[in-house]
Amino acid sequence: MRDYIRKRVVDVSLYIVKTSATVRQAASVFGVSKSTIHKDVTERLPRINKELAQQVKEVLELNKSERHIRGGEATKKKYSKSTRAS
């Protein structure tokens, strides 16, 4: 694995653990695709650092379990804005 990829994998992983960021948020911050972030943390990270990989997995599982709530809040916010404008 190239050094810049290894560094990105570790940096992204530490960011996710520190901020509880979603894959989408991490992709935005690091300027790469969601697919790249997902591949970094699920395939590459366990080969680099198993402990950090477990921590990231826990954060991503929590985010996944809460995503229906975030989606509902986003929809509520979207429609409350459009209702007020009418």
Low-confidence ranges of the chain (pLDDT < 50): none
Q: pLDDT, tens digit, for every residue of 17-34?
A: 999 999 999 999 999 999
pLDDT at 80: 85
pLDDT at 69: 75
pTM of the shown model: 0.79
Q: What is the pLDDT of residue 49?
A: 97
Q: Alpha-carbon distance 41 to 57, whole Å?
A: 8
Environment class of 56 (CB within 10 Å of its CB; exposed 0-12, middle 13-18, buried 19+): buried
